[in-house]
Amino acid sequence: MRIPGKGLIDETQVSFRFDGHAYEGRAGDTLASALLANDVRLMARSFKYHRPRGPLTAGSEEPNALVTVGEGARRDPNVRATVQEVYDGLVARSQNAFPSTSFDVMAVNDLLSPFLSAGFYYKTFMWPRAFWEKLYEPVIRRAAGLGALSGEPDPDQYEKAFAFCDLLVIGAGPTGLMAALTAARGGADVILCDEDNRMGGRLLAENEEIGGMPGHVWAEEVLDELRDMENVRLMTRTTVTGAYDQGTYGALERVRHHRPRGPLPKSCFWRIVAKRAVLAAGALERPVAFRNNDRPGVMTAGATRAYLNRWGVAAGKSVVVFGNTDDTHRTARDLIAAGVHVPVVVDNRHDAEPQGDYRVIAGGHVVNSSGRRGVEAVEVAHANGRRESFACESLAMSGGWNPSVHLACHMNGRPVWNDAIQAFVPKPGMIPGMTAAGAANGTFSTHGCLEDGQQAALDALSDLGRKAEADTLPPAGDAPYRIRPLWAVPGRGRAWLDFQNDVTVKDVKLAAQENFRSVEHMKRYTTQGMATDQGKNSNVAALAVLADATGRAIEETGTTTFRPPYTPVPIAAMGAGGGGIGFAPQRFTTSDAAARQSGAPMIEAGLWYRPSYFPKPGETTWRQSCDREVRMVRDAVGICDVSTLGKIDIQGPDAGAFLDFVYTNMFSTLKVGRTRYGLMLREDGHVMDDGTTARLGAHHYLMTTTTAAAGNVMKHLDFVSQALRPDLDVRFTSVTEQWAQFAVAGPKSRELLQGLLDAFTPEDWPFMACGDISVMGVKGRLFRISFSGEHAYEIAVPSRYGDSLYRELIARAETLGGGAYGMEALNVMRIEKGFITHAEIHGRTTAFDIGMERMVSDKKDCIGKTMSERPGLMDPMREQLVGLKPVGAVKQLTAGAHLYNAGEEPVRENDQGYITSNCYSPTLDTVLALGFLKNGRARHGEKIRMVDSLRGLDALCEVCDPVFLDPKGEKMRG
Amino acid sequence: MRITCPICGERDIREFTYQGAAVALDRPDPEAGDEAWDHYVHLRENPAGRTRDLWYHSGGCSAWVVVTRDTVTHEVFDTELAEEAKA
Amino acid sequence: MAELKAKTPYETVTGGASGPERMEVTPFVAVEVDPGALTSLAPYKGQAKALSTALEAAHGMGLPKPNRMTGKQSAQALWFGRDMALLIGPAPDASLAAHAAVTDQSDAWSVVELSGPGVDEVLARLVPVDLRGHVFKRGHTARTLVGHMSASVTRTGADSFRIMVFRSMVKTLFRELHHAMIGVSARREAAGAG
């Protein structure tokens, strides 16, 4: 019910829909305040018992009023109606109810509640195991669930961003505003974050004066000053969700949750780096546990005042107030002044006196509520035990306030118990650089908050090396906080502690009785403190009940662990921009466009995209294209972009010595103008990478790495040079991207180059030669190297010419009966030649295993040498690289299949090795494979059984040399 | 977490790649024997408290950095270039 | 005789030849630029001073300190990482090779100029470094990340930055800049509209 003339929001009307009905609200309303204004207070059903629920609070800690906002793929489940702002066209609906909130068939759970107590799932759904997936899980999911995701990809845009400041102020109530103002006036860079859409905190919800003016007016004046300062950034709708190491804070900004769809991102996840921080997050009010305290219309007194004073909405025409601090009287005064009937104020303190024209029951309790779909009456027990009933439409209750210590505890700190305020407060220094101030630190008076905020800012300024003086504080209320502990009203029936998870006082007692006495165990056993509100309303009361049940003090019982995030953060915001192709950078070669134009399907190789094969008209399978491309290279000439291989330019007087140290073989002896294959080990003696390195000058080398290991090799070289051998004068840099490099392979490669290069004498380019060339007027490099086993070259030009040269090479190759070949053909040809890739050097193989132990020079030390000589790594019974050919009508040899001796059971104990690479060789018209076999080099000619359990294959093969084709390399060298 | 690169200044952790204990700086002589090599390549302390480890400024200047920090509080005490550090 | 045609990084990956890429999302513009030759200079041991002198003599500016750029529009020396500077503009003088590893990188990088009022807000979506004007001033540079890409970011003016990523990643760079530009632009519009 809206009270004319009350509230701080303007009169602009907005239309929205809730559960299919159209309503009017006002700009500045939350969904909860707008619905209450329309006398709708039933907004949700509870998680477990499907009890009807209305809003308990007016903030982000709301446990009950969870709704789904939006429709289709854009819907957002579990949105708190107390946070969601209404706007024209907003569509929201209740959740966890079928068919509707007011009539919910699952409410039968409530009748079954005697059987659904704490630990019910653990006790009931124990066995049989098969029932879990088929029965229990689906049933529980349907019966006890919050809102559901759409199951479709999220079409909305999200953002993430970085921000930096001297001082981060978390919360813009009196404390935060004063802290921000003091720091900003002192010249610090300030970010002030508040999760609300309007700054001011409790000043917007209370009748409080600061400096002789209403608190919200004072707040607006401070904000006006802050808005005009260049060193201040105000971030509304931004919840600081986590405190992390070295002054990093996570914060979620709701950018477009309060307006219709448009180009704005929906939310933004900020990483804020702050030299200092002030936690001014305020405090959260505690409900009191009594029988049926979850009935719609029962809410915290602070929420009652917030709806009244900020939104001009009364929770009912008559409101009973119940509590244990002066807030009960503050609530009664505000309600009466607004014309709301207050039948009685139940102040649990025995010395309570009325502070206005209303009746007070001192030392009493509210013991029960009744009503059909919401509160219609409450039953009160006097101090002497006498019972009295009061008709009312709402109950405002307060069990005192809990400082919002959460962020202060995110680095595993535990708050300390403060007996005077019956609450936990942060311990100083739990987050380096952060100070808690105001209500978050247990200071509850307005004056105290201003003073605290100012002092925290002055301390921060001083830490930052800035001088600042304390301005005179405006006068404000400074009444003491007097509280009588009140957690749970004694008596029968279910009294709710955790509204969101339907955990009652009885559940916590049962947990203690069944020996789940540790607070962490109690939490897991009862589910208290889980889900979206993370026990913000219930943790302290629940552990007070646990403390009582276990005969311990509250401080002795301790708290559970506070972890980020403070409020839920959508994964979509944390991973903003990372969906689909945004997941990782895409790297495209200079021939990418040409390859795609010719229809080549691209495959990912690390971040790179490379052509798989180049289909010709009439070819319907990749194998047809691949076979043709292999024959084309073997018979004529093929072109392949090999630019993705890592290229590292190495220079300096000690370049040769450096290479000798990182490679197993010698490079200082390599002649200028020559290229050599090199093998690189890790320090543990296993192979890291391989590739060719060319000597371009006396002190100038060019190393190539495999595509996959380029980054790792660079990191390794940096490590060796900086950390192990800083004595060597050598410099290197990646030139992978500088050069576009293409393999020109096949018997006609020489002929192709003769027409292309400006002056080319083939006799000057023996196998493994390298040097400068000129191609159509452009300076490039040529390498006489081969990964196909054919007479081949690799030609490199600066990348700007890559596209142009590639197209020229293809055109010339085609006139010679050749063309482009892709990764599939490249792989087939290297298997035919027994050349290894990372399928073979997969991290567990040694030089010995791949038959290259002679490449480990005994003339020098190198990385990995000592450890590679361990007897275990030279054991002949290790698995060694072999070739495998099928015996008989075998259709397939498969990578990943294991090898067994013929006649032995294919079980792990008998394992003889495994296959790493396989292909169909069009050259030899047979399937081939490379693999590792125990003592394999001595077993050429032996028959071995291949078993692929995954694909159900079982075949016999013959062990042979891994080089299937041209074992002497005559074609390559010729 | 933030790490101060001795060259670039304080940076977000995402710019760095973690490697492992700074023991890796202390490469033994090839003839140092099995025990020394075993220790160098395989054996690592797992301290709850002060530790020295290697980070690579992969998303920055490519420096290898020795970071002295506390594994419990996550406090960073000191950073220095690997090329200047004595293990 | 035919000749090889040079293409910008963006032209290369799109297979077209439409000139340098220009992307505008009011009030921001990202445009592919050709800064001339790019040459990495890595001074040998103890040669930094000698290199700086030679650089000064040949090209008019000394070796930059970490996180800084030296020189004028026609010839700049950009700090480019540990023990490395990037000479931008002129072809390197032969005298430099006596003191440093000199490597042509003209084709290795995609160079994009990003500008517009308050453009550091766009980069705040992508770069984990404080780029605000009073902290990261004209002539300041950083080796850092743009999204997941290793990058060099330099402030070239009150409202402009030069961003360099590996040539092969130019498409990703433009895509990520676009995403960030749209977000900031929409916020400005929303704030302007009240």
Q: Is C6 exposed, middle or buried (0-12, 13-18, 19+ CB in 10 A)?
A: middle
Task: Compute the average pLDDT of residues A615-622.
Answer: 97
User: Residue A10: which CATH number?
Assistant: 3.10.20.440
pLDDT of A115 > 70? The answer is no
* DSSP character at residue A699: T
pLDDT classification of A122: cutoffs 50, 70, 90? low
The domain tally of chain A equals: 7
Based on the fold, state whether residues A410 and A506 are members of the same structural domain. Answer: no
Interval A564-617: pLDDT, tens: 999 999 999 999 999 889 999 999 999 999 999 999 999 999 999 999 999 999
- What residue of A is the nearest CA neighbor of C12? A590
Based on the fold, state whether residues A233 and A171 are members of the same structural domain. Answer: yes
For residue A320, being part of any structural domain is answered with yes
Based on the fold, state whether residues A706 and A661 are members of the same structural domain. Answer: yes
Return mean pLDDT, chain A.
94
pLDDT at A255: 96
* Cβ pairs A/C, distance under 8 A: 160
Interval A162-201: pLDDT, tens: 999 999 999 999 999 999 999 999 999 999 999 999 999 9
Task: Give the pair of three-digit tokens for residue A810.
Answer: 């293809």
Based on the fold, state whether residues A623 and A772 are members of the same structural domain. Answer: yes
Between these two residues, A467 and A890, which has the higher pLDDT value?
A467
pLDDT at C2: 74
Q: In 3D, which of A693, A704, A705, A645 has the Cα closest to residue A669?
A: A693
Task: Compute the average pLDDT of residues A544-567.
Answer: 93
For residue A484, being part of any structural domain is answered with no
pLDDT classification of A136: cutoffs 50, 70, 90? low
pLDDT of C1 > 60? The answer is no
Q: In 3D, which of A349, A173, A143, A364 has the Cα closest to residue A278?
A: A173
For residue A773, being part of any structural domain is answered with yes
Interval A398-437: pLDDT, tens: 999 999 999 999 999 999 999 999 999 999 999 999 999 9
Instruction: Identify whether the C-beta of residue A802 lies closer than 8 Å to the C-beta of residue C111.
Output: no
ipTM of the complex: 0.98
Based on the fold, state whether residues A110 and A73 are members of the same structural domain. Answer: yes
Task: Compute the average pLDDT of residues A854-874.
Answer: 94
Cα C155 to Cα A602, C123, C163: the distances in Å are 37, 11, 9
Task: Give the pair of three-digit tokens for residue A888.
Answer: 């008989």
> What does residue A275 show for φ and ψ, rounded to 5 degrees?
-70, -35
Write the residue in A246, A271, A861 that is nearest to B30 by C-beta.
Answer: A861
pLDDT classification of A129: cutoffs 50, 70, 90? low
Distance from CA of B10 to the nearest CA of C (A): 9
**Binary contact (A593, C107; C-beta < 8 A):** no
Write the residue in A245, A247, A723 that is nearest to B64 by C-beta.
Answer: A723
Q: Answer with the one of A667, A699, A734 that is the final residue of a domain.
A: A734
Task: Compute the average pLDDT of residues A779-787.
Answer: 97
Distance from CA of B1 to the nearest CA of A (A): 5
Q: In 3D, which of A591, A571, A730 has the Cα closest to residue A659?
A: A730
Based on the fold, state whether residues A821 and A702 are members of the same structural domain. Answer: no
For residue A848, being part of any structural domain is answered with no
For residue A868, being part of any structural domain is answered with no
Which chain A positions have a beta carbon within 8 Å of C127's beta carbon?
162
pLDDT of A126 > 80? The answer is no
Which chain C positions have a beta carbon within 8 Å of A162's beta carbon?
124-125, 127-130
Distance from CA of C184 to the nearest CA of B (A): 23
Evaluate the CA torsion angle A379, A380, A384, A385 in order and state its sign.
Answer: positive
Q: Is A844 exposed, middle or buried (0-12, 13-18, 19+ CB in 10 A)?
A: exposed
Which chain B positions have a beta carbon within 8 Å of A719's beta carbon?
19, 24, 54, 56, 64, 82
pLDDT at C160: 98
Q: Is C46 exposed, middle or buried (0-12, 13-18, 19+ CB in 10 A)?
A: exposed
Based on the fold, state whether residues A217 and A83 are members of the same structural domain. Answer: no
Instruction: Identify whether the C-beta of residue A196 lies closer than 8 Å to the C-beta of residue A237.
Output: yes
Instruction: Place domain C37-104 in its CATH homologous superfamily.
Output: Heterotetrameric sarcosine oxidase (3.30.70.1520)
pLDDT classification of C15: cutoffs 50, 70, 90? confident
pLDDT > 70: what percent of chain B? Answer: 98
Task: Compute the average pLDDT of residues A555-562.
Answer: 91
Task: Compute the average pLDDT of residues B70-87.
Answer: 91
For residue A567, being part of any structural domain is answered with no
pLDDT at A147: 81
Domain ranges of chain C: 21-34+108-192, 37-104
For residue A470, being part of any structural domain is answered with no
A59 vs A62: CA distance, rounded Å: 6
pLDDT of A105 > 80? The answer is no
Interval A27-85: pLDDT, tens: 999 999 999 999 999 999 888 888 899 999 999 999 999 999 999 999 999 999 999 99
A931 vs A306: CA distance, rounded Å: 73
Based on the fold, state whether residues A608 and A506 are members of the same structural domain. Answer: no
pLDDT classification of A974: cutoffs 50, 70, 90? confident
pLDDT of A221 > 70? The answer is yes
Interval B49-68: pLDDT, tens: 999 999 999 999 999 999 99
Interval A723-735: pLDDT, tens: 999 999 999 999 9
Give me the domain span that covers residue A306: 287-399
Residues from B contacting C (CB-CB < 8 Å) are 7-9, 11-12, 14-15, 57-63
A445 vs A476: CA distance, rounded Å: 8
Least confident of A95-104, A337-346, A884-893, B6-15: A95-104
User: How many whole angstroms from its chain centre is CA A778?
Assistant: 48
Q: Which CATH architecture has domain C21-34+108-192?
A: 2-Layer Sandwich (3.30)
For residue A837, being part of any structural domain is answered with no
Give me the domain span that covers residue B78: 2-84
pLDDT of A654 > 60? The answer is yes
Question: In this complex, which chains have at least 3 CB pairs below 8 Å with chain C?
Answer: A, B
User: Residue B54: which CATH number?
Assistant: 3.30.2270.10
pLDDT > 70: what percent of chain A? Answer: 95
Q: Answer with the one of A734, A752, A776 that is the final residue of a domain.
A: A734
pLDDT of C77 > 70? The answer is yes
DSSP assignment of A809-870, as one string? HHHHHHHTT-EE--HHHHHHHHHHTT---TTTSSSS-BTTTTT-GGGS-SSS--TTHHHHTS
Task: Compute the average pLDDT of residues A706-734.
Answer: 97
